[in-house]
A and B are shown apart, each in its own frame.
Chain A
Amino acid sequence: MSEALLQLADVHTHIAQYHILQGVDLTVPKGGITVLLGRNGAGKTTTLRTIMGLWHASRGSVRFEGGDITHSPTPDIASAGIAYVPESMGIFSDLTVRENLFLAARSVKSADQMDEARLEWIFGFFGALKKFWNQPAGTLSGGQKQMVAIARAIVEPRKLILIDEPTKGLAPAIIQGMIAAFRELKQTETILLVEQNFSFVAALGDSVAVMDGGRIVHSGSMAELAADKDLQHRLLGLSLDTHQ
């Protein structure tokens, strides 16, 4: 395994009086896709939010490129190079697709200065964005909104992209398009991908971690988990594959 880009060590997170994360140990190596699996309520979203500084760990540490970001404010974590695609997508519905991407492109002062070549690269797998470029994002379909959300995360080079259940509620045909997009993305990006849909990630993921009850209960290579039906059954039960 290559060097660790992100490392969570014994992370505990409380939301109000609830003890949600109960000692998460998670390593995301540089490059490719690390998949975070686990049934509903396991703590996957809370883990991403804790990395992003939207919740703060009450114990343990989050290290990014060796630096401690456990207590950093969210904008600093974003500026350090972590992008976030939340479960709810967080689209700005009044703003056009173009304006949504412009705000994500922190380094440019006007929308015209966005990197054309990079935009074309994004349109290459999310063609709908080009078509709806000047439409308010709120008028798009669920799948197209998800494309906007992911495009925002990659509109400029980032070091790590956190994506929370991008296939949730999407039609199978659209999911196929997403798979193609992720296959292209993983050539250059590092992604921590939360999914419930095992069939979606089995062929995509490089490494995998499985959560349950606010802890990581398994981590290893995706190839190993994909080949071992018994292990899948034991870790994931029936709750995951029923999706598709």
Chain B
Amino acid sequence: MTAISHAAPQDAALPKVKVDVLPLLLVPLLALLMLPLVGSFPTWVTLTVAGLAMGMMVFMMASGLTLIFGLMDVLNFGHGAFVSVGAFTATLALLPMKSWVEADSVLMNLSVLGLAILLAMLVTGILGWAFERIIIRPVYGLHLKQILITMGGMIVAEQLIHVIWGAEQIPLQLPTTFRGAFIFGDAALEKYRLIAVGVGLTVFVTMFLVLNRTKVGLLIRAGVENGEMVEALGYRIRRLFVGVFMAGSALAGLGGVMWGLYKETLTAAIGGEITVLVFIVIIIGGLGSVGGCFIGAMLVALVANYAGFLAPKVALVSDILLMVMVLLWRPQGLYPVAKR
């Protein structure tokens, strides 16, 4: 080496790591903007917490779907089936163990809810495995067929629920501990909403850690960008995909349990009804992006709640409007995922 090359700017600035914060700011910005419109601070707090809680539940349902699309370009319009099946499976624990639900004991309440969630996630996870094998695998790479056959799968699942659980809607009772609200001054915060926020954040942080800190997680992110290269490095992308599909289905099942308890009644259509919202969320977020999905879910749910209060007539189309606005700003969604 010559003296000149030593003197060369060896410490030339590192390329800037761009953390794209604008989408992150949207959520607080939206909330703050709505404060004067809503007028009353306590009402605003209640609406905001309700929106965040709903957002968390939608995130649970949507996060798996966005990875399923990102990794294998699979359009699964049957994802809502796992939401319904999850919610109905939970009744297998919640209804027979009614005394645990009604007991005035935190431990019994938590146990029965935990059991219901575990059961729901187990069943939807296994169902996800079968769904991938039987329904998805024959239509890899064929988008139109994917849409048709997964919608078909959704209809079949709904009908099976009717067969097993009957066509009547099932009332669901919240465990005693989670009923009611905490009162802060004039603002009432429903306990269950806070729990939903807690569960949602746990799911998000767990996913974040898995995707950033584990080899499997890194492979999933790498596979979303360039599956062929992941294979060329010696890993089986299909195996990775099956795992993601099962986990995504189980998360949808979890979302279904939480959502069903939130609504306190269950119909087989619960999953189908939320599917449109879930698709709006993953499109807003950027297909394949978990972070984008999280922000998208918060935005969609907050907008739905504020609009429901301020202008109920607009509420029906508010999420579509939100999607249009986001896509005008960023046509690939909030966090576009690099694709080969």
Q: How many residues of A contact B (CB 8 A)?
A: 30
What's the minimum C-beta distance from A9 to chain B, rounded to whole angstroms?
Answer: 23
Q: Could you mark each residue 170-197 of chain B with 1 if its beta carbon is under 8 Å from any beta carbon of chain A, else 0?
A: 0000000000000000000000000000
Chain A 60-93 near chain B by CB (<8 Å), digits 1 or 0: 0000000000000111001100001010101011
Q: How far is the CA of A45 from the CA of B17 in the complex (A)?
A: 33
Q: A106: nearest residue on chain B (CB-CB)?
A: B234
B218 and chain A: residue at smallest CB distance: A99
Task: State how many angstroms separate the Cβ of A145 from the closest Cβ of chain B.
Answer: 12
Contact of A229 with B by CB under 8 A: no
Q: Which of A84, A104, A132 contacts B15 (CB 8 A)?
A: A132
Taking CB atoms, residues of chain B closer than 8 Å to A86 are 229, 232
Contacts of A74 in B (CB 8 A): 228, 231-232
Contact A103 B225, beta carbon cutoff 8 Å:
no
- CB pair B218 A135 closer than 8 Å: no
* Proximity bits, A86-122, B CB within 8 Å = 1, else 0: 1010101111000100111010011000000000000
Interface centre among B222, B230, B235, B338 (most CB of A within 10 A): B222
A75 to B236, CA, bound (A): 6
**Residues on B with beta carbons closer than 8 Å to the beta carbon of A152:** 233
Whole-angstrom distance between the Cβ of B292 and the nearest chain A Cβ: 12
When chains A and B are docked, how far (Å) is the Cα of A136 from the Cα of B338?
13
Pair A95/B15 contact, Cβ less than 8 Å:
no
Complex formed: what's the CA distance from A99 to B215 in Å?
Answer: 9
Q: Which chain A residues lie closer than 8 Å to B18 at the CB level?
A: 139
Q: Please state if A84 and B232 are interface contacts (CB–CB under 8 Å).
A: yes
Inter-subunit contact A109/B218 (CB<8 Å): no
Please indicate the chain A residues that have their CB under 8 angstroms from the CB of B340 in the complex.
88, 90
CB neighbours of A75 from chain B (8 A): 231, 234-236
A140 is an interface residue with CB less than 8 A from chain B:
yes
B189 CB to nearest chain A CB (Å): 37
Question: A111 CB to closest chain B CB, in angstroms?
Answer: 8
B219 within 8 A of A: yes
Q: Which of B15, B222, B228 sits near A135, CB closer than 8 Å?
A: B15
Indicate whether B226 reaches chain A with its CB closer than 8 angstroms: yes
Please name all residues of chain A whose beta carbon is closer than 8 Å to the beta carbon of B231 when the two chains form the complex: 54, 73-75, 78
- Give A103 to B234 CA distance when docked, in angstroms: 9
Alpha-carbon gap, A88 to B228, bound state (A): 12
Q: Is there an interface contact between B17 and A135, defined as CB atoms closer than 8 Å? A: yes
Contact across chains for B229 and A109 when beta carbons are under 8 A apart: no
Q: Enumerate chain B residues within 8 angstroms of A135, measured Cβ to Cβ.
A: 14-15, 17
Task: From B16, B215, B229, B234, give the contact of A92 (CB < 8 A).
Answer: B229
A234 at the interface (CB under 8 A from B): no
Which one of B16, B218, B232 contacts A95 once the chains associate, using CB atoms below 8 Å?
Answer: B218
Say yes or no for A138: interface residue by CB 8 A criterion: yes
Set of chain B residues within 8 Å of A79, measured between Cβ atoms: 234
Bound-state Cα–Cα, A67 to B142, Å = 34
**Bound state CA distance, A214 and B215, in angstroms?**
39
Is B221's beta carbon under 8 Å from chain A?
Answer: yes
A240 within 8 A of B: no
Q: Is A8's beta carbon under 8 Å from chain B?
A: no
Number of interface residues of B (CB under 8 A): 23
- Which residue of A95, A109, A138, A140 is within 8 Å of B222 (Cβ)? A95
Complex Cα spacing A213 to B229, Å: 27
Q: Are B221 and A94 in contact (CB under 8 A)?
A: yes
Chain A residues within 8 Å of B232, by CB: 52, 54, 74, 78, 84, 86, 90
Whether the pair B338, A95 counts as a contact (CB closer than 8 A) is no
Contact status of A103 and B15, CB under 8 A, knowing A54-B232, A84-B232, A152-B233? no
CB of A103 within 8 A of CB of B228, answer no
Interface string of B198-241 (1 = CB under 8 A from A): 00000000000000000100110110011011111111100000
Quick one: CB contact mask for B225-264 with A, threshold 8 Å, 1 for yes?
1101111111110000000000000000000000000000
Whether the pair B15, A109 counts as a contact (CB closer than 8 A) is no
Bound: A103/B217 CA distance, A: 11
Residue with the greatest number of chain B CB neighbours at <10 A, chosen from A52, A75, A131, A139:
A75
Contact status of A139 and B17, CB under 8 A, knowing A52-B232, A75-B231? yes
* B338 x A94 contact (CB < 8 A): yes
Report whether A103 and B215 are in contact in the complex, using a CB–CB cutoff of 8 Å. Answer: yes
Would A132 and B218 count as touching, CB distance under 8 A?
no
A76 CB, min distance to chain B CBs, angstroms: 8
Contacts of A136 in B (CB 8 A): 17
CA–CA, A234 and B233, complex, Å: 38
CA distance A66 to B90 in the complex (A): 56
Cα(A102)–Cα(B229), bound, Å:
14
Residues of chain A lying within 8 A (CB to CB) of residue B225: 92-94
Residues of the B chain whose Cβ atoms lie less than 8 Å from the Cβ of A88:
340
Most chain A CB inside 10 Å of its own CB: which residue of B230, B232, B235: B232
Q: A106-B234, A139-B17 are in contact. List 11 more A-B contacts (CB 8 A).
A: A73-B236, A74-B231, A78-B232, A86-B229, A92-B222, A92-B229, A103-B219, A103-B222, A106-B233, A106-B235, A135-B15
Closest 6 CB pairs of A and B: A78-B234, A90-B229, A74-B231, A139-B15, A92-B222, A84-B232
Residue contacts A-B, CB under 8 angstroms, 17 given: A54-B228, A73-B231, A73-B236, A74-B228, A84-B232, A92-B222, A92-B225, A93-B338, A94-B225, A95-B218, A103-B222, A103-B233, A106-B235, A109-B215, A139-B16, A139-B18, A140-B15
